[in-house]
């Protein structure tokens, strides 16, 4: 029987926030199972309803009884809208997260196993408490656990220790490092690392990530230290006063800035400007998530001034086409990777080989060296 395991037949519930990626994942799964030319469907149709007062509900239009259910959601998709009292409203992370809970309520305990795939973890930057603050991410994880979720899969979580909120549940923090580097090498050429390139961490928090890239690629590493004004709060955070570089000389070198996410881009923009003063040759950026919450015009300017060469990100969270079409932006498709994870888990097999970035990157570099 197609897709049948100890946990039942595979079923995927794709919320509209993730519809494009969900369709791609389903097609990839069918390819992996040799079902491209069949009528097999894994996506379970749902109806997402919004009432005129802003309330909503989700109705599942097919049976989920005894199935191995994967719920796919993008809490960062601000393109989704609904009407409330006659006005058009954008859906924020809170509303996308609420739709996940509506799905779980609609399933009603009938599924055999439930896995939530939330590439951008809800409230991941509200992961620790300072004074009388809410602890949104931890509370959300506990809620999902209590609502019957067996496993949560997320990507490049801002603070991986948030898993401690649900120590008895499966929580996979997956890094798209291999996919990003493979795309980077394919686009820029494998000689890109041979010409005095240095990996840069934009702050102390991203240093472990930068060190990993530097070690696996055999490159030098540097870091910027953010000096913040802790007497003021602007847009929910202490404003950055100055970026101070810690590392060796960068003159004439290519630079690769590594980060988990670009929100407003203010920090990365400041660092690119600082690096340009140090007479670097080319500047590249790799970030798992790119939101451009204050627009991409400043990145356009950096590109026009020759300060930014390329910015690589993923399709794990919504990015408008107008940004995807920028000459400096390169998108990395993760649908095949997610499909492999879903397909493997649905067969009750280990995904450890898929998560071993180091071995896969070294193999990739070895293959490229043999081809040159």
150 in the same domain as 209: no
Which of the residues in the chain have pLDDT under 50? 1-3
218 in the same domain as 165: no
Query: Is the residue at 41 inside a domain?
Result: yes
166 in the same domain as 37: yes
187 in the same domain as 113: no
Query: Is the residue at 26 inside a domain?
Result: yes
Query: Is the residue at 20 inside a domain?
Result: yes
133 in the same domain as 239: no
206 in the same domain as 181: yes
66 in the same domain as 30: yes
Q: Residue 42's domain is classified under what CATH number?
A: 3.40.50.2020
Query: Is the residue at 265 inside a domain?
Result: yes
pLDDT of residue 236: 63
Query: Is the residue at 110 inside a domain?
Result: yes
Cβ atoms within 10 Å of 68's Cβ, excluding its own: 26
Q: What stretch of H or E contains 253?
A: none
pTM of the model: 0.92
214 in the same domain as 161: no
Residue-number span of the structural domain to which 80 is assigned? 10-175+335-348
pLDDT of residue 292: 95
272 in the same domain as 139: no
Cβ-contact 90, 80 below 8 angstroms: yes
259 in the same domain as 222: yes
Query: Is the residue at 363 inside a domain?
Result: no
In sequence order, the 6+-apart residues with CB closer than 8 A to the CB of 171 are: 141, 151, 152, 154, 163
Q: What is the pLDDT of residues 196-254, one digit of tens each?
A: 899 999 888 888 999 999 999 999 999 988 766 656 676 666 666 667 888 888 999 99
Among 338, 287, 324, 289, smallest CA distance to 22 is for 338
Count of the separate structural domains present in the chain: 2
Dig out the tokens for 38 from the structure: 């069949």
Query: Is the residue at 184 inside a domain?
Result: yes
220 in the same domain as 100: no
Query: Is the residue at 370 inside a domain?
Result: no
122 in the same domain as 212: no
Rounded-to-integer distance, Cα 36 and Cα 38, Å? 6
pLDDT of residue 225: 82
């Amino acid at each position: 029987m197609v897709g049948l395991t100890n946990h039942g037949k595979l079923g995927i519930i794709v919320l509209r926030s993730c519809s494009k990626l969900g369709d791609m994942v389903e097609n990839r799964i069918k390819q992996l199972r040799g079902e491209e030319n069949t009528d097999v469907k894994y996506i379970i149709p749902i109806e997402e309803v919004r009432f005129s007062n802003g309330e909503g509900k989700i109705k599942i239009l097919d049976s989920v009884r005894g199935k191995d259910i994967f719920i796919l959601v993008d809490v960062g998709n601000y393109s989704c809208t609904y009407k409330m009292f006659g006005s058009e409203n954008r859906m924020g992370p809170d509303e996308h997260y609420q739709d996940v809970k509506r799905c779980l309520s609609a399933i009603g305990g009938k599924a055999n196993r439930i896995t939530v795939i939330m590439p951008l973890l809800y409230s991941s930057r509200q992961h620790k408490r300072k004074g009388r603050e809410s602890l949104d991410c931890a509370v959300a994880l506990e809620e999902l656990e209590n609502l019957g979720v067996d496993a949560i899969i997320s990507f490049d979580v801002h603070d991986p220790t948030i898993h401690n909120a649900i120590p008895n549940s499966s929580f996979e923090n997956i890094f798209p490092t291999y996919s990003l580097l493979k795309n980077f090498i394919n686009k820029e050429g494998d000689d890109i690392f041979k010409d005095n390139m240095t990996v840069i961490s934009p702050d102390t928090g991203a240093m472990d990530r930068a060190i990993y890239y530097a070690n696996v690629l055999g490159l030098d590493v540097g870091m910027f230290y953010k000096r913040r004004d802790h007497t003021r709060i602007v847009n929910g955070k202490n404003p950055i006063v100055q970026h101070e570089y810690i590392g060796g000389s960068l003159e004439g070198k290519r630079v690769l800035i590594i980060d988990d996410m670009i929100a407003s881009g203010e920090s990365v923009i400041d660092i690119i400007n600082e690096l340009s003063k140090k007479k670097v040759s080319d500047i590249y950026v790799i970030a798992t998530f790119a939101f451009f919450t204050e627009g991409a015009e400043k990145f356009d300017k950096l590109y026009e001034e020759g300060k930014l060469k390329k910015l690589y990100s993923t399709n794990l969270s919504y990015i408008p086409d107008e940004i995807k079409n920028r000459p400096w932006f390169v998108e990395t498709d993760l649908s095949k990777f997610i499909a492999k994870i879903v397909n493997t888990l649905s067969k009750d097999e280990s995904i450890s080989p898929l998560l071993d970035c180091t071995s896969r990157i070294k193999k990739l570099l070895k293959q490229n060296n043999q081809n040159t």
